[in-house]
Structure 1
Amino acid sequence: MNENELMSSLPVPKAVAKMAIPSVISSLVTVVYNMADTFFVGQTGDPLQVAAVSLTNPIFILFMAFANMFGMGGSAAASMAMGEKNEKRMKQVSAFVTYASLIVGVALAVILMVFMTPVLNMFGANEQTFLYAKGYTFHIAYGAPFIIWSAAVSFVVRAEGASKEAMIGSMIGTVANIVLDPVLISGMGMGAVGAAVATTIGNILAGIYYLWYFLKKSKCFSISIKYFTCKDGILSGVCVTGLPTAVFSVLMSVSTIVLNQILVAYGNAPVAAIGIVFKANMFITFLQMGLANGVQPLLGYNYGSGDHKRFVSVERYTKKCCVIVGILATALFFVLREPIIRLFISDGEVVYYGVKMLIAYMLSGPVIGLLFVNMNCMQSVGNSFPATILSVMRQGLLLIPLLYLLNACMGLNGVIYGQALTDYAAVILSAVLWRRIRRRIERR
C-alpha cells in the first residue's frame, strides 16, 4: 500500500486504525517513559526525591512545548505539502524542524545551566528538595537538544505514513530509559539524578534511530542543511500551525509551577502526590491525544487535496473512538485508583493525597479527547488562532486564576478539581468554535 492509497482511498476505519494505533502506542510509550522516572525514584521510598522530580516536571513540559510546536506544525505543513505533491517543500519542512529543534534545545540548555538556582526557587524547591532538584535539572538540561528533536521528528515521520517507524523511535528511547532507571537510580545509588541521566541517554538513542531513518529510509523528507530555510512561509507555516500545541504545553508548565507553589504550603507530601497523579493521569489523556494526533496527517492531506467528505468522516470516526476509549480508561482508573498510586510509592500520607487527586483529575477523562480532535481539525485547515485560544484558556487564562480562587475558597480540596472544571469548559468551547469554522469551510 502506498501513501496516497492510505491517505485518500482506504476505508476510513482502516485508515484511522493504521495511522492511529501506532500513534497511540507511541503516546503510551511516552506515558511509560514519563512514568518510569517517578516510579523508580518512588522505589527509593524517599518522598523528598519524588517531590523533587515533581518540582522539575515543568522543565520537561517546556521541552515538549517546543517539540510539539515544531512536530505538530511540521506534521501539518508536511501533510498539506504531500497532498499538493510539493516534494521540495516536504524536504524544507523536515530540515527546518530538525535544525530549529537543535538550536532551541541548545539555547534552553544554556539558560537552565546559567539560571538554575533562581529557576528552581521559582518552581517551589525548598531547602529539603533543592539539592535533589538541582541534580536532576543539570542532567536533563544538557539533554534538551536530543529530547526536543527526537520528539519533534516523530510527528514528521508519521506525516509520511511511517507510523510504525515513529513508534519504534519512541520505543527505543523508552526501553532504554526503563532499563537504565533501576540501574542508575537504585543500583548505582544516584537517586533522582540517575533518572535524569537515563532520560537523556534514552533520547540520544532515539535521536540516532531517527537520524538513520532520514538518511537511509525516508522517501519524502531530508535533514540536509541545504534544505534548511525560514523563508517561503516555512517558519510561519510550521510555528504558527504548531503554536496552539506549544502554548498548551508552555502554559501547562506555568500552571504546574503555580500548582506546586500552592501545594508546597500544605507540605511536601501533596507535591509528591501531584507528581504521581500527573504521570498516572497522562495514561487517560495521552491515550486520546495519541488518537487525535495519529489522524492529523489524514486530516491535513484530505483538506489539502480538497476531499471534504473524507475529512469529515475521519473527524467523526476519531471522536467516537476517543469517547469510547476515554470512558473505558477512566472507569479502569477509578476502580484501581489506590493500587495505581501505591504502585509508585507506599508512603501513607502521599497515597492519601494521591488517591483524592487522581479521582479529581480523571473526571474529564471521558471527554478530553474531543478537545484534542477539535484542535487538530482547526490546525489541519489552517485555523490555528482558535486552537491557540483554547490552549491559552485551558492551561492559563482560566486554570491559573481558578486554582487561586479554589484555594482561597475551599483550600486543598478545591484546588485539585481546578483542572477537570477547566477541561469541561475547554471541550464545550472547542465544539462551538470548530462548528463555526466547519460551516464556513462548507460554504466555500
Structure 2
Amino acid sequence: MAKVSSEALGIEPIGKLLIKQAVPASIGILVMSLNILIDSIFVGNWIGSIAIAAINVVLPVSFFIAALGMAIGIGGSSIISRALGADNKQRALHTFGNQITLTLLCTVSLVILGLAFVDDIIPRFGGKGDIFDPAKIYYVIVLYGVPILGFAMMGNTVIRAEGKPKFAMTAMIIPTVGNLVMDYIFINVLDMGMHGAAWATTGSYLACFLYIFWFFTSKNSELKIRFKHLVLQKDIVTEIGSLGGVTLARQAVVSITYLLMNNILFDLGQEGLVAVYAIIGRMLMFALFPVFGVTQGFLPIAGYNYGAKQYDRVRESINTAIKYAAIVASLVFIGLMIFPAEIASLFLSDNPDIPAKELAVNQFVLSHATEPMRWVFAATPIIALQLIGAAYFQAVGKAIPALLLTLSRQGFFFIPLVLILPKFYGELGVWISFPIADVLATIVTGYFLNREVRTQLLAPKTT
C-alpha cells in the first residue's frame, strides 16, 4: 500500500485517495471485529449460548475501560503529535508520562470499585438468572486485566502519534490472534469453560501490552520517559481531558446502550433474548467494518482540503465517501436480509448432547434471531450519510456539532425509543427502535450537513 503524503491529499483524485486511506483503516477495524466475532462463535459452540449472553453482560464494562484508555490516548496523542512537530520533545515526554499516570490511576480505581461491588454490578448490567454465575466468572477475571487493557489502548494511539502505523497495526493483530489461540487451548483442549474464555481474553490483553511495552523500551520509539515525566501537570491533564472527552462520551453511550438492552430483553424473554442481542451486537461490530473504514479514510482528506480552502475538493470528498459507503452498506444489507438464520446458527452448538437448558436456549435463539436481525439492519443502506456527515464536522475541527451528531443516533434517539416503544409493542418495540433511530439521525445529520455545504463550502475560495 503506497504511502499517501500530505501534499497528495490536496492533489490526487478523491476516489483514488479515499481507497488508499480507507483500505488500511478497514483492515484495522476488521482485525478487531474478527476477534470479537470468532471469539463469540468459539464460546457459543464450545460453552453455549448462555455463555455468549454472559459475555455480553460484561461488554459494557470492557467497552468503558477500553474507551477510557482510548480517550487518554487520543487526547494525549494530539498533544504529542503537535509537540514533536514543533520540536518540543520535553512536552511530548511529559504528556506521555502523564498519560501513563492517568491510565494507572483510573484503571486501578475501577478495578477496586468493580471488585467491591461485583454482586451489585452484574445484575444491573443484565446478568440475571442463569446468566449471573458465568457472567461473574468472566467479569472478575477480565477485571484483573483492566489496567493492562487501558495501557494497551492508550499506548496504541501514542504509537500512531509517533508516526509508526505498522507497529500500531501489529499491536492490534497480536491480541486477536492470541485470544483465538488461547480460546482453543483453554476452552477446547483444557476444557476450562467460562474460566478459559476469560483467561484467554485477559491473556490477549497481556500479549498486546507486552508488545507495546517492548516498543516503547526499544530503539523504535523516541519517547524515553523518566520518573519526572510521570508527575501530573494541570495544563496537560486538562488538555488530555478536553480532547479525549468526545471519545469517552461516545463509548459511554455504547456501554449505556448495552446495559439497557440486556435488562430490557431479559425482562421480555429471559436468557434467550439476551443471547439473540449478543449475536446481533457482534454482527453490528463486524458487518459494518468497511463502512467505518471509508469513514476513517474520509477524515484526513476532508480535513486537509478544508484547511487548504479547496472547498470544491471537500464537497467532492463528501459525495464520494457517501457513495462508496452507501454501496458497501447496501451489500451488507442484502447479505443480512438473505442469510440471518444461517448467520445466527454460526454462534450456536449443534451438539445434541448439550444440557436441556442450553438446548432450549439454542432453539429459542434460532427461532427468534431472524426477524430481529432484519429489523436491526433495516436502515443500513442510509447510515452512510449519518456517519460521513458526523465525520465531516470532526475532520474540520467543529467539535460540538461532531459530538452531537455522533451521539444523535444512540444517545438522542435510540435510548429514548427503546425505553418507550417496548411498553407498547413488547419485543418488537426493541427491534424497531434501531431503524427508527437510524432514519431520524440520518435526517438530522443530512440537514446540518446540507446547511454546512451551502453556507461554508460554496463560498468563494479566498487566496
Same fold (TM over 0.5): yes
- After TM superposition, give the deviation of residue 364 of structure 1 in Å: 3.0
Stretch moving more, 60-69 or 153-162: 153-162
CA-to-aligned-CA distance 1:85-109 (integer Å, 9 cap, x gap): 7766655555554443343222222
SS of 1:242 mapped into structure 2: helix
Aligned residue for 2:342? 339
Alpha-carbon distance in 2 for matches of 1:75, 1:311: 26
Tell me: CA distance 1:76–1:299, structure 2 relative to 1, closer, same or farther (3 Å). Answer: farther
Stretch moving more, 243-252 or 7-16: 7-16
Q: Does structure 2 conserve the Cα–Cα contact (< 8 Å) formed by 1:19 and 1:161?
A: no
Alpha-carbon distance in 2 for matches of 1:298, 1:90: 26
Tell me: CA distance 1:45–1:210, structure 2 relative to 1, closer, same or farther (3 Å). Answer: closer
- After TM superposition, give the deviation of residue 180 of structure 1 in Å: 0.7
Aligned residue for 1:278? 281
Alpha-carbon distance in 2 for matches of 1:362, 1:372: 15
CA-to-aligned-CA distance 1:225-283 (integer Å, 9 cap, x gap): 65568658644444333333322211121121111111112221111111011002212
Tell me: CA distance 1:146–1:219, structure 2 relative to 1, closer, same or farther (3 Å). Answer: closer
CA-to-aligned-CA distance 1:385-436 (integer Å, 9 cap, x gap): 2232234432233222211221111110121121222122222222333444
Alpha-carbon distance in 2 for matches of 1:305, 1:232: 33
Stretch moving more, 52-61 or 153-162: 153-162
Q: Does structure 2 conserve the Cα–Cα contact (< 8 Å) formed by 1:285 and 1:368?
A: no
Aligned residue for 2:409? 394
**Which amino acid counterpart does residue 185 of structure 1 have in structure 2?**
I
SS of 2:378 mapped into structure 1: helix
Aligned residue for 1:318? 321
- After TM superposition, give the deviation of residue 6 of structure 1 in Å: 5.9
Alpha-carbon distance in 1 for matches of 2:189, 2:36: 20
Alpha-carbon distance in 2 for matches of 1:345, 1:167: 31
Aligned residue for 1:291? 294
- After TM superposition, give the deviation of residue 350 of structure 1 in Å: 0.9
- After TM superposition, give the deviation of residue 213 of structure 1 in Å: 3.3
Aligned residue for 2:176? 174
Aligned residue for 2:389? 374
Q: Does structure 2 conserve the Cα–Cα contact (< 8 Å) formed by 1:285 and 1:369?
A: no
**Which amino acid counterpart does residue 253 of structure 1 have in structure 2?**
S
- After TM superposition, give the deviation of residue 314 of structure 1 in Å: 4.4
CA-to-aligned-CA distance 1:274-306 (integer Å, 9 cap, x gap): 101100221233332233234545555566676
Choose the corresponding residue for 1:365, options 374, 380, 386: 380
- After TM superposition, give the deviation of residue 119 of structure 1 in Å: 0.4
**Which amino acid counterpart does residue 397 of structure 2 have in structure 1?**
G
Aligned residue for 1:113? 115
SS of 1:366 mapped into structure 2: helix
Tell me: CA distance 1:364–1:107, structure 2 relative to 1, closer, same or farther (3 Å). Answer: farther
Stretch moving more, 89-98 or 391-400: 89-98
Aligned residue for 1:163? 165
Alpha-carbon distance in 2 for matches of 1:239, 1:81: 17
Aligned residue for 2:359? none
Q: Does structure 2 conserve the Cα–Cα contact (< 8 Å) formed by 1:248 and 1:395?
A: no
Greater C-alpha radius of gyration: 2
Alpha-carbon distance in 1 for matches of 2:128, 2:188: 24
Tell me: CA distance 1:372–1:155, structure 2 relative to 1, closer, same or farther (3 Å). Answer: farther
Q: Structure 2 matches for 1:5-20, cutoff 5 A? A: 5=7, 12-20=14-22
Choose the corresponding residue for 1:35, options 26, 34, 37: 37
Stretch moving more, 32-41 or 150-159: 150-159
Q: Structure 2 matches for 1:41-440, cutoff 5 A? A: 41-44=43-46, 46-74=48-76, 94-159=96-161, 161-216=163-218, 234-265=236-267, 266-297=269-300, 299-300=302-303, 313-346=316-349, 347-436=362-451
Tell me: CA distance 1:428–1:410, structure 2 relative to 1, closer, same or farther (3 Å). Answer: same
Aligned residue for 2:355? none
Alpha-carbon distance in 2 for matches of 1:88, 1:245: 26
**Which amino acid counterpart does residue 433 of structure 2 have in structure 1?**
G
Alpha-carbon distance in 1 for matches of 2:61, 2:397: 29
Alpha-carbon distance in 2 for matches of 1:83, 1:441: 29
Q: Does structure 2 conserve the Cα–Cα contact (< 8 Å) formed by 1:49 and 1:191?
A: no
Q: Does structure 2 conserve the Cα–Cα contact (< 8 Å) formed by 1:83 and 1:301?
A: no
**Which amino acid counterpart does residue 256 of structure 2 have in structure 1?**
V
Alpha-carbon distance in 2 for matches of 1:160, 1:372: 27
Tell me: CA distance 1:218–1:332, structure 2 relative to 1, closer, same or farther (3 Å). Answer: farther
Tell me: CA distance 1:6–1:35, structure 2 relative to 1, closer, same or farther (3 Å). Answer: same
- After TM superposition, give the deviation of residue 16 of structure 1 in Å: 3.5
Tell me: CA distance 1:264–1:368, structure 2 relative to 1, closer, same or farther (3 Å). Answer: same
What value does the CA root-mean-square deviation take over the aligned residues?
3.3
**Which amino acid counterpart does residue 371 of structure 1 have in structure 2?**
Q
Q: Which runs of 5+ in 1 are unaligned?
A: none
Alpha-carbon distance in 1 for matches of 2:163, 2:443: 31
Aligned residue for 2:26? 24
**Which amino acid counterpart does residue 354 of structure 1 have in structure 2?**
A
Alpha-carbon distance in 1 for matches of 2:93, 2:4: 19
Tell me: CA distance 1:37–1:297, structure 2 relative to 1, closer, same or farther (3 Å). Answer: same
Alpha-carbon distance in 2 for matches of 1:47, 1:275: 9
**Which amino acid counterpart does residue 203 of structure 1 have in structure 2?**
Y
Stretch moving more, 15-24 or 355-364: 15-24
- After TM superposition, give the deviation of residue 190 of structure 1 in Å: 2.2
Tell me: CA distance 1:430–1:82, structure 2 relative to 1, closer, same or farther (3 Å). Answer: farther
Q: Does structure 1 conserve the Cα–Cα contact (< 8 Å) formed by 2:101 and 2:232?
A: no
Q: Report how many aligned residue pairs link the two structures.
A: 444
Alpha-carbon distance in 1 for matches of 2:47, 2:445: 42
Q: Does structure 1 conserve the Cα–Cα contact (< 8 Å) formed by 2:73 and 2:155?
A: yes
Q: Does structure 2 conserve the Cα–Cα contact (< 8 Å) formed by 1:284 and 1:365?
A: no
TM score, norm. by length of structure 1: 0.87
Alpha-carbon distance in 2 for matches of 1:76, 1:4: 17
Aligned residue for 2:358? none
Tell me: CA distance 1:219–1:121, structure 2 relative to 1, closer, same or farther (3 Å). Answer: closer
